[in-house]
């Protein structure tokens, strides 16, 4: 199953759960992409309905979903209450059956992956325990999404090229947490030390890998595989990550890879060559150091 299939299946299950909540007339889920510059959104009106086509939302629009993503806190209340902070959004809801809404972050570990929104045909009481239950649901849905993405990418990605006979290859998994970048750097250093790679090249490889792994963790919402290849007097490091919720186009991948522009400029300056290769399931970013 591809990354797209994983996310679509997650969206269908999530929307079934959300539209089954008491009083809910419509529900939607939105996932961050584009380095947090946009959300990918889909919705449904009742359990079992096929979700609407994914569409992009500007992550800087003044709507409850974006507020929930940016703040990490829920936005709940009647249309009257929500109009105090999002008047233009509420005005656009006039003529619909929506009387109240809840926009709640989707969280996985210490990361916000997006948010869900439910539109009510009646106004709930939104007691503290009810809001807490909505937040717990956001954590549950976020964990399922994060784990599904991690399960998908927990298989080594295709190598940048086929290894030659007698070459050395090491692959290791990096969890989807910025704190995991340090241990990954140490793992790479230990590997290159065993291969008798000189200290300068080792530090350069560790620095460049850190940039690619950080990009992968920030953008994929999950972990990544690192492949280290030693052959033909060159060290190749490839970082493989999953992307969602749609097939990644080359233009989109290029856009996302520019978010940490300074770091990638450093990779370009320090390595013999580097690049990124998107496909239907994710992205492989790589660089080569020549001995």
Angle between helices 3-19 and 128-153 (to 10 degrees): 160
Q: Determine, yes or no, domain membership for 159.
A: no
Which domain CATH number covers 26? Answer: 3.30.450.40
Could you give the dihedral angle defined by the CA atoms of residues 57, 62, 64 and 67, in that order, rounded to the nearest 10 degrees? 100
- What is the C-alpha to C-alpha distance for residues 139 and 255, in angstroms, rounded to an integer? 29
Q: Determine, yes or no, domain membership for 161.
A: no
**pLDDT value of residue 174:** 87
**pLDDT value of residue 157:** 46
255 is in which domain, residue-wise?
168-290
Q: Determine, yes or no, domain membership for 197.
A: yes
**pLDDT value of residue 240:** 87
- Specify whether 146 is located in the same domain as 207: no
* CA-angle at 267, arms to 265 and 273, nearest 5°: 110
Mean pLDDT by 10 residues, the chain (291 residues): 72 97 97 72 96 89 92 95 96 95 89 92 97 97 80 50 66 84 93 92 95 82 84 88 48 42 78 80 85 67
Which domain CATH number covers 222? Answer: 3.30.565.10
- Specify whether 183 is located in the same domain as 233: yes
**pLDDT value of residue 265:** 81
Q: Determine, yes or no, domain membership for 214.
A: yes
Q: How many domains does the chain have?
A: 2
Q: Determine, yes or no, domain membership for 218.
A: yes
- Specify whether 246 is located in the same domain as 283: yes
Is the pTM here over 0.85, yes or no? Answer: no
**pLDDT value of residue 223:** 81
- Specify whether 130 is located in the same domain as 219: no
């Amino acid at each position: 199953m591809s990354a797209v299939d994983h996310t679509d299946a997650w969206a269908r299950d999530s929307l079934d759960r959300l539209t089954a909540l008491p009083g809910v007339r419509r529900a939607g889920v939105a996932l961050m992409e584009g380095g947090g510059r946009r959300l990918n959104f889909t919705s449904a009106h009742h359990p079992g309905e096929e979700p609407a086509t994914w569409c992009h939302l500007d992550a800087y629009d003044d709507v409850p979903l974006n507020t929930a993503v940016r703040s990490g806190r829920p936005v709940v209340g009647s249309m009257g209450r929500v109009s105090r902070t999002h008047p233009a959004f509420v005005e656009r809801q006039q003529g619909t059956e929506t009387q109240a809404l809840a926009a709640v972050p989707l969280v996985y570990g210490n990361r916000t992956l997006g948010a869900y929104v439910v539109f009510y045909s009646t106004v709930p009481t939104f007691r503290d325990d009810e809001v807490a239950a909505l937040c717990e649901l956001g954590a549950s849905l976020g964990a399922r999404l994060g784990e599904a993405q991690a399960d998908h990418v927990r298989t080594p990605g295709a190598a940048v090229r086929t290894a030659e006979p007698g070459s050395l290859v090491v692959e290791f998994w990096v969890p989807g947490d910025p704190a995991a970048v340090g241990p990954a750097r140490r793992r790479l250093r230990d590997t290159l030390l065993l291969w008798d790679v000189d200290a300068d090249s080792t530090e350069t490889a560790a620095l460049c890998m850190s940039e690619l792994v950080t990009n992968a963790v920030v953008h994929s919402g999950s972990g990544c595989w690192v492949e280290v290849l030693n052959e033909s007097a060159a060290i190749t490091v490839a970082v493989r990550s999953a992307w969602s919720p749609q097939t990644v186009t080359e233009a989109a991948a290029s856009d996302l890879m520019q978010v940490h522009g300074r770091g990638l400029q450093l990779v370009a300056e320090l390595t013999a060559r580097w690049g990124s290769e998107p496909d239907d399931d994710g992205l492989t970013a790589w660089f080569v150091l020549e001995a």
